[in-house]
Amino acid sequence: MRVQLPTPGFSFELLATHGHARAGILHTPRGDILTPAFMPVGTLGTVKAMTADELRADPLDARIILGNTYHLYLRPGLEVITAAGGLHRFAAWDRPILTDSGGFQVFSLAAINKVDDDGVTFRSHIDGSKHRLTPEVSMHIQAVLGSDIAMCFDQCPPGDAPADVQEVALARTTAWAARCRVAPRAEGQALFGIIQGGVDLERRARHAAAITALDFDGHALGGLAVGEDIADTYRVLDAIAHTLPAERPRYLMGVGTPDNLARGIAAGIDMFDCVMPTRNARNGYLFTSAGRVNIPNAKYRTDLGPVDPECPCTTCRTYSRAYLRHLYVAKEILYSRLATLHNLTFYARHVRRIRDQILADGKVA
């Protein structure tokens, strides 16, 4: 079943289902994204420690990466991105890019001066300079970046925010989504709406109904992995994800561990992003088929085996745990490159393995 999405050139093809889990293809003008998909995070126009060629190469084969509206707006700035001809040319990346709206970063990183129904006035975490971000400004920045998928500007409250704060955030996010929907976009740029509501299921369902009624190309669950208990995350996922329109891609923002991804897929999610594989790599934590490896541990000092014997990445085929530990302890830059390549490959293969299982065992859509 292949359905044309509202933005020309984009369509979503559902191939098989297994319970609520889905395997499909998000067709875009810059290439197909096999779903479920994990999207490496390239906050500043780069997936930390990786080149574009490494991201594209097998067995990682990243079909889409993320860029961050807030960070790229502040540095290098829109003038530089415009002169470069957009983020794809600037970063030498010819496959799809999704940009977030900047909302999460404004609320989590910046020194906020004022939040009102029109937008947010904030000070940069870099130099303290004052800026104003509204739905229209967010959409303008994303249009200059030229991402393939833009995200609506939203208000993301903390996971433990009280009900009255959640309700205000819901009302603003809905109003801002409607404004993003009619704001000018880059040619051929799809737009996803974001569903908030914290861990209250009634509030989540109510907001899902409001956002899906606006006819976006896809829908995202935001406001999870922001301090709530993982049991609450799963409760929201299990109740809401499968109720979102089946003919549109479903995106879980900022989550999470390999187990979190598996649970999200089982709930009906198609797309994921998280800094965990890259950040954990730099901090010495490597994901493997036998569990997590803490590479600074002294027991790996003379361990000449690969990080993961089941992994076909260059790191595992070429280098030992002892060598990686040596690089980490010596603070050699090569460590971050090799460790990041491995962790991203592990995530990509983890999600593809689940996709293959859905295709093999599920029902044809």
Q: Using an 8 Å Cβ cutoff, are 117 and 175 in contact?
A: yes
Question: Which candidate in 148, 217, 273, 308 is catalytic?
Answer: 273
Is residue 217 among the annotated active site residues?
Answer: no
Q: Using an 8 Å Cβ cutoff, are 69 and 106 in contact?
A: no
Of the candidates 360, 33, 351, the one whose C-alpha atom is nearest the C-alpha of residue 192 is 33
Q: d(Cα 188, Cα 82) in Å, to the nearest integer? A: 17
Q: d(Cα 187, Cα 304) in Å, to the nearest integer? A: 52
Token pair 């990183």 in the structure block, residue: 109
Is residue 270 among the annotated active site residues?
Answer: no
Token pair 């829908």 in the structure block, residue: 219
Per-residue 3-state assignment (H helix, E strand, C coil) for 12-74: EEEEEEECCEEEEEEEECCEEEEECEEECECCCCCCCCCCHHHHHCCCCCCCCEEEEHHHHHH
Q: How far is CA 333 from CA 55, 327, 339, in A?
A: 18, 8, 10
Q: d(Cα 237, Cα 240) in Å, to the nearest integer? A: 5
Residue 177 has phi, psi (to 5 degrees) of -65, -40
Q: Using an 8 Å Cβ cutoff, are 237 and 269 in contact?
A: yes
Question: Which candidate in 53, 100, 148, 238 is catalytic?
Answer: 100
State which amino acid sits at residue 345: T
Say if residue 289 is exposed, middle or buried (CB neighbours under 10 Å; 0-12, 13-18, 19+).
exposed
Q: Which residues are the active-site residues?
A: 100, 273
